[in-house]
Each structure stands twice: as structure tokens, then as C-alpha cells.
Amino acid sequence: MTLPRVPRPEEPGEEELPRMSLLDHLEELRKRIVWSLLFFGISFFVCWNFSKQIFHFLAVPVYATLAPGTKLSFLGLTDPFILYMKVAALAAAFVSAPFLLWQIWGFISPGLYKRERRWAAPFVIAGTLFFLGGGAFAYYVAFPFTVAFLLGVGTEFQAVITAEGYFSFLMTVILGLGLMFEMPVVIVILSQVGAVSPRFLMKHFRWAVLVIFTAAAILTPTPDVFNMSVFALPTLALYLLGVGVAALLRWQKARNVERSADTVPGES
């Protein structure tokens, strides 16, 4: 379904699109899903050709901590094949992120005013950059800290790490932080369409802290505060960034409305 329209003053030249029926929404959703899956599939087959190189890149954090010459292991005959499929799927998710975000915007845009539909390009560009930034932060900062901590706990034992187990954990962290880093984009868009306000978000900031730390606890395999903070604190900063940008845009919009009201008809 499209986002609900919150009653708010319309600007000159602003008009609504005709309402879509439930069947129209479902048909539009079907088309968006088909196009998204098609583009993701093309990206997957392209990434499949580089799946070994991609996995070697993703395995750097654990190889940097293990003893030289140590390799990850596998238990089942099909494990390497399934692993490379997952590697290609993870890479395809980042490659196809701009197109997937464009399809999301295309689905929700019929529920927006003409002025709000101009946010398409900023939504796709900012959403892609924050998603890539979250993945990069997970790979270069959060995940190496976690790997070093976990392997440091087991220094008295012989590490036998399966490639499947390692990559499943890595994929959870990278995708999880990639999605969490989308928070500023979501906040700004919801604020612009009138679904939430910066004051409302700051008033319920303590609940945002609870939700963010809960999500960080799910992504972090250890209960210690340090590793959890590596995941949660950047997300809290992004929450405040989103609220700040939303407040700035609302202030700018209010100033524009005041200037329009003060303009005398007939003046150039």
C-alpha cells in the first residue's frame, strides 16, 4: 500500500494523483517485484563469475587473525557451492541497491504530492550511499572487532571455523548494518510526507535507543557492551542526523511559506 497522506497545506500548483484501487496497488506491487527480481537475478549471475574473488575479499578479517596458512573448512560436499551462491547473492544485493530503491520509490510515489515526488533522486542516491556506507562500516570496523574478540576468547583451543558459519555471520552483520544505516533516509522521507515530525522523534528518543540497542544485540553474537556499542552508537548518531536534517528542511519550508505569504500580489 502507499503511504497515507497526512492533511497539510498545499502549495500553489500542488495536486493529488487519482486514488488507486486495491487491485491497482497489488498490480503495481507485482510489477515492481518482478522488475526487482529480474535485475537482482542479472546482478547475481554477473557476481557469480567473481564469487571466489569476492569471498577471498570477505575472508580477510578472519584470515588476518588466524595463524598464517590456516584455511576455513567445510563439512558437506555441497557447502562450497552453496557458499559461493550466498556470496554472489550478497554482492548482487549491493550492486542492485540503486535499482531496488528506485522500485521502492516507484511504488510509494503515487501516494505522494507532486512536490514530494521530486525527492526521487535524493532518495535513491542517499539510500544507496548509506547502504554502501553501512556495509563498509560493518566490513572495515564492526566485524574485525567482533572477530578479534571472539577468537581472542578461544586462544586456548584449536580454531576450526567453517566457511559456511563464518560467511553466514558476516552476511548478517553486513546486511544488518547496511539496513540500519538507512535510518536517516527513512526519517527524512517520513518527515517530508508528514508521517512523523522531528519533535515527535526526539520526544520518543528513549524508545529509539531501546530499539537500536535491541537490534544491535541481535546482530552482535556476544553480550558485552563494547561490541554492542560498536553497532549501536553509529546508528544512534545516524538517527540524530536524520532528525537534524528533517528539522532543517521543515524550518526551510516554513521560511519559504512565510516569504510567499509576505509577497504582495503583482510584485515581481
Question: Which of 153, 178, 203 is the endpoint of a domain?
Answer: 178
**Do residues 166 and 187 both lie within one domain?**
no
Task: Give the pLDDT score at 55.
Answer: 92
**Do residues 194 and 83 both lie within one domain?**
no
| 7 within a domain of the structure (yes/no) | no
**Do residues 149 and 39 both lie within one domain?**
yes
Is the CB of residue 187 less than 8 Å from the CB of residue 248? no
**Amino acid identity for residue 66 in this structure:** L
Task: Give the pLDDT score at 46.
Answer: 95
**Do residues 136 and 120 both lie within one domain?**
yes
Mean pLDDT of 181-199: 86
Domain count, the chain: 2
Is the CB of residue 9 less than 8 Å from the CB of residue 118? no
Q: Nine-digit cell at 164?
A: 559456511
Task: Give the pLDDT score at 17.
Answer: 53
Task: Give the pLDDT score at 65.
Answer: 79
Task: Give the pLDDT score at 71.
Answer: 83
CA atoms of 171 and 135, how far apart (whole Å):
10
Is the CB of residue 213 less than 8 Å from the CB of residue 180? no
CA atoms of 188 and 126, how far apart (whole Å):
11
Question: Which of 125, 147, 178 is the endpoint of a domain?
Answer: 178
**Do residues 82 and 27 both lie within one domain?**
yes
**Do residues 73 and 173 both lie within one domain?**
yes
CB 84: neighbour CB atoms within 10 A? Answer: 18
**Do residues 88 and 36 both lie within one domain?**
yes
Q: What is the pLDDT of residues 106-153, one digit of tens each?
A: 888 777 677 777 788 888 999 999 999 999 999 998 888 888 887 887
CA atoms of 65 and 63, how far apart (whole Å):
5
Look at residue 162 and give its three-state secondary structure.
strand
**Do residues 104 and 212 both lie within one domain?**
no
Mean pLDDT of 225-238: 84
For the four alpha carbons of 39, 43, 46 and 51, in that order, the dihedral sign comes to negative
Q: What is the pLDDT of residues 150-167, one digit of tens each?
A: 788 777 877 788 888 889
**Do residues 106 and 163 both lie within one domain?**
yes
**Do residues 102 and 199 both lie within one domain?**
no
| Average model confidence (pLDDT) across the chain | 82
Instruction: Look at 58-62, 193-197, 263-267 and tell me which has the smallest mean pLDDT.
Output: 263-267
- Under 8 Å CB-to-CB from 135, ≥6 apart: which residues? 94, 174, 175, 177, 178
**Do residues 77 and 118 both lie within one domain?**
yes
Q: Alpha helices of the chain — where are they, by DSSP H? A: 22-48, 51-58, 60-63, 79-95, 97-108, 120-137, 143-153, 163-180, 183-192, 198-203, 205-219, 225-262
- Under 8 Å CB-to-CB from 227, ≥6 apart: which residues? 145, 146, 149, 220
- Write down the pTM of the prediction: 0.80
Question: Which of 178, 204, 227 is the endpoint of a domain?
Answer: 178
Q: Where in the sequence is the domain holding 120, given as residue range(s)? A: 21-178
